[in-house]
Amino acid sequence: MKKLNYFNWRFFLIIIFLIASIVAIFTRVIYLQIDKENFLKNWGQNQHIAYREVPSIRGTIYDRNNIPLAISLTHYDLYALRNFSENDYKKLKNIISINTSFNEISLKNKKILIQKSLSPEDINLIKDSSLKHYEIEIRFSRHYPLADQIAPLVGFSGKDNYGLEGIEKSYNSFLSGKDGKEQYYKNRKGEIISKAISIHAQEPGHDLHLTIDSNIQFFAYKKLAEAIEETKAKSGTAIVLDNSSGEILAMASYPSYNPNNPNRKPQKNRALLDKYEPGSVLKPIALAKAIDMELIDITDPLDTSPGYISLNNYSISDYKNHGVLKAYEIITNSSQVGASKIALMLGADNIVTTYKEFGFSKPININFPSPTFGQINNRENMSDIEIANLGFGYGLDASPFQIASAFAVFANEGVYKEFSLVMNDEYMYEKQVISEETADKILFALKDVIENGSGRKAKVPGFDIGGKTGTSHKSVKGGGYAKSIYTASFAGIAPLGSKDLTIFVSIYQPGLNAYTGGEIAAPLFAKIASDTLNYLGYFESE
């Protein structure tokens, strides 16, 4: 072997150049690995990784018997991705029938809806085919099986599954689940090239169980709607309460709307959002307090002659001179003079306190969007006329639900309860506000209203019931009372034996000559009570 004598400096220079280049390249490759702040790695991840929301299903709203009031339906929608070709379209057309033409799809750079709500068979056919460039996406829609019967209470949620009205709105965070998030890898065209990796799974929303009984709700709504149409009234509400459990069984409001119609025009929940001066329907409350304080007993005489009373230059009058009435007959005959005298007997402080104890002017414990709760006149040094007004239900305003809750005190042996709308509500306020005997005495008076007084039309054949009519004038701005606008109401307890139900109905602005509680609200009460009692399986007492 010969010696390498041609290894000269020129060759040496070239070798040095090559080695230096290798070192430079190698250094650079290493340097790119330790790039500052992970610039390249982050840039790469932004480019490679995409995220997708996994929609969560909204909880169902049930009534007390697990009948759904609001349910989420799952739909599978077919979308064309960016490079969906005419070939793909033809393939798809061979698999399923589609209404969209290819021209509508072939818009570039977008995800285009091809077909809404695929059937399960179609989904399988598409998934088994060789079709590409499509995506099937889950969509949830909300359906309300009871539609207008309960719409003002349950409300509705919008397209994005966000509660917009009623219970759907106030319990939105409870009902809505948490959307999940998935990560996947994509190529430059944005096509998914990996299986989705779940970052956090979707959590379905909670189901909500209302205390509503959809059958009773149906009776209440149907009879209310009929009564309002019949009397050409503007609106109205009917509430059915279960006294012993403190639960709301029905809360109908009319006019209503169909929440399943995308063009719905929401109507307000009259039971929780209306407020007005209740009028005579509250007379038993003042009397109850007077009996409770032993200022008068249920059968004690009280002189209401000459049929009117003058206080602070205002005159309060009955429609006729009742003469000397037994205390309960003030309720039976709905005597303004008698109620005024009872109120004056109690004095301002007592009567205001009593109303407050019966729940008036206090926020209600129901989770509903902006419920109303009215106010009470409780200024210092009230004049006699103001005290008298409070005695027969003016000088304060309240929502129908508040009136119904207050009335339930007589059925609950003197205990004021907060009524709940949701099953197993944890904390519900309860307080003994009048004695049990007093409550019984008032029930006796309320029964007399039906037997002999203004509430004869509320009579339910075969059942003992008690109740009180009310006809209040609508107050208008600027003080005073509008002459021709009335709210007719009736609050009753049925049956008197078990004192299970409190039913309150009110009809706002009846259009005919018959406008009093006794004439139009009492029959409505009777219809609802009759249906409800029959449905609940009460035996007629005869």
Partner 1 sequence: MIYRNNIFLSISLVGLITLGLIMVTSSSIYIADNLTGNPFHFATRQALFIGVGIFIFTAFLLIPSSFLEKTDWLFLLISILLLVALFIPGIGTEVNGSIRWIRLGPINIQPAEVCKFSMILYTSGYCVRRMGEISTLRGFLKPLMLLGLVSFLILSQPDLGTTAIICAVVVAILFFAGISFFQFGLLILLIGALGFIAIYFTPFRLTRVMSFMDPFLVQQGAGWQLSNSLIGIGQANWIGLGLGNSFQKNLFLPEAHTDFIFAVLVEELGIFGVILLISLYSLMIFAIFSTAIQSLALKRFFQGFVAFGIGFLISIQALFNLAVNIGLLPTKGLTLPFISYGGTSIIIMMSFIAIVLRINNENKFY
Q: Quote the crossing angle between the two packed helices 120-128 and 86-95, to the nearest 10°.
A: 130
Interactions with partner 1, residue window 6-35 (CB under 8 A): 6-7, 10-11, 14-15, 18, 21-22, 24-26, 28-30, 32-33, 35
Q: Which is nearer to partner 1, 32 or 428 (CB)?
A: 32
Instruction: Label residue 417 exposed, middle or buried (CB < 10 Å: 0-12, 13-18, 19+).
Output: buried
Judged by CB under 8 A, does residue 87 bind partner 1? no
Smallest gap from Cβ 14 to partner 1, in A, equals: 7
Active site residue 315: no
Smallest gap from Cβ 18 to partner 1, in A, equals: 5
Residue 165's SS3 state is coil
Smallest gap from Cβ 132 to partner 1, in A, equals: 11
Q: Which two tokens stand for residue 17?
A: 């150049």
**H/E stretch holding 102:** helix 102-105
Q: Which is nearer to partner 1, 22 or 107 (CB)?
A: 22
- CA–CA gap between residue 286 and residue 331 (Å, rounded): 10
Count of positions on this chain that bind partner 1 (CB under 8 A)? 36
- Span from 184-192, 314-322, 409-417, 446-454 in contact with partner 1 (CB under 8 A): 184-192
Distances (CA, A) of 261 to 71, 156, 329: 15, 10, 50
Distances (CA, A) of 16 to 6, 12, 21, 23, 357: 16, 6, 8, 10, 101
Residue 60: name the closest of 148, 160, 118, 142 by CA.
Answer: 142
- CA–CA gap between residue 383 and residue 376 (Å, rounded): 15
Q: Which is nearer to partner 1, 44 or 306 (CB)?
A: 44
Interactions with partner 1, residue window 384-443 (CB under 8 A): none
Smallest gap from Cβ 191 to partner 1, in A, equals: 9
Interactions with partner 1, residue window 37-66 (CB under 8 A): 39-41, 43-44, 47-48
How many beta carbons lie within 10 A of that of residue 66, not counting itself?
Answer: 9
Binding mask 187-206 for partner 1 (x = CB under 8 A): xxx---x-------------
Smallest gap from Cβ 26 to partner 1, in A, equals: 7
Judged by CB under 8 A, does residue 185 bind partner 1? yes
Judged by CB under 8 A, does residue 132 bind partner 1? no
HSE toward the beta carbon, residue 536, CA cutoff 13 A: 21
Per annotation, catalytic residue among 176, 280, 399, 506: 280
Residue 273's SS3 state is helix
Q: Which is nearer to partner 1, 14 or 201 (CB)?
A: 14
Ramachandran category for residue 294: left, alpha or beta (phi over 0 → left; psi -120 to 50 → alpha): left
- Which residue numbers are catalytic? 280
Q: Which residues bind partner 1 (CB under 8 A)?
A: 1-7, 10-11, 14-15, 18, 21-22, 24-26, 28-30, 32-33, 35, 39-41, 43-44, 47-48, 185-189, 193
